[in-house]
Amino acid sequence: MSIREASNARRRMAIIDAAHAIMSQKGLQALNIRDIGKACGCAPGTIYTHFEDLDTLILHANSRTLNQLAQVLEAVDEKGQGRAVPDRLCEMADAYLDFALANRAAWQALFEHQMERPIPQWHRDDHFRLFGSIARLLLLHTAGLDEARVQLVARGLYSSVHGIVSLGTAPRLLRLSDRDIRWQMHLVIHGMLNQLSRENGTGQ
Amino acid sequence: MSIREASNARRRMAIIDAAHAIMSQKGLQALNIRDIGKACGCAPGTIYTHFEDLDTLILHANSRTLNQLAQVLEAVDEKGQGRAVPDRLCEMADAYLDFALANRAAWQALFEHQMERPIPQWHRDDHFRLFGSIARLLLLHTAGLDEARVQLVARGLYSSVHGIVSLGTAPRLLRLSDRDIRWQMHLVIHGMLNQLSRENGTGQ
DNA sequence: ATCGAAAACTGATCGACGATCAATTTTCGA
DNA sequence: TCGAAAATTGATCGTCGATCAGTTTTCGAT
Confidence (pLDDT) at B202: 56
Do residues B100 and B169 make contact, with C-beta atoms less than 8 angstroms apart?
yes
Which nucleotide across the nucleic acid strands is nearest to A33, CA versus C1'?
D17
Confidence (pLDDT) at B30: 97
Confidence (pLDDT) at B6: 84
Percent of chain A with pLDDT over 70: 99
Which nucleotide across the nucleic acid strands is nearest to B55, CA versus C1'?
C18
- The pTM of this model reads 0.96
Do residues B15 and B36 make contact, with C-beta atoms less than 8 angstroms apart?
yes
Confidence (pLDDT) at A204: 42
Confidence (pLDDT) at A4: 83
Instruction: Answer yes or no: do A173 and B198 touch at CB < 8 A.
Output: no
Instruction: Answer yes or no: do B159 and A184 touch at CB < 8 A.
Output: yes
Is pLDDT at A202 greater than 60 in this prediction? no
End-to-end CA distance of chain A: 55
Query: How is A78-113 classified by DSSP, letter by letter?
Result: HHTTTS-HHHHHHHHHHHHHHHHHHTHHHHHHHHH-
Strands (E), A75-202: none
Spell A77-92 as b/e; 16+ CB within 10 A means b. beebeeeebbebbbbb
Do residues B100 and B163 make contact, with C-beta atoms less than 8 angstroms apart?
no
Taking only the tens place, the pLDDT of each residue in B65-123 is: 999 999 999 999 999 999 999 999 999 999 999 999 999 999 999 999 999 999 999 99
Judged by average pLDDT, the poorest of A121-130, A135-144, B107-116 is: A135-144
Confidence (pLDDT) at B199: 85
Smallest Cβ distance to B119: which of A112, A166, A172? A172
Whose CA is closest to B193, among B81, B75, B77, B89? B89
At A50, is the secondary structure helix, strand, or coil? helix
Whose CA is closest to B188, among A109, A139, A112, A184? A184
Is pLDDT at A203 greater than 80 in this prediction? no
Q: For chain B, which ranges sit under pLDDT 50? A: 203-204
Do residues B191 and B164 make contact, with C-beta atoms less than 8 angstroms apart?
no
Half-sphere exposure of B120 (CA within 13 A, CB side): 11
Identify, with chain letter, the residue nearest to nucleotide D11 (CA–C1'): B45
Taking only the tens place, the pLDDT of each residue in A35-51 is: 999 999 999 999 999 99
Smallest Cβ distance to A156: which of B152, B156, B187? B187
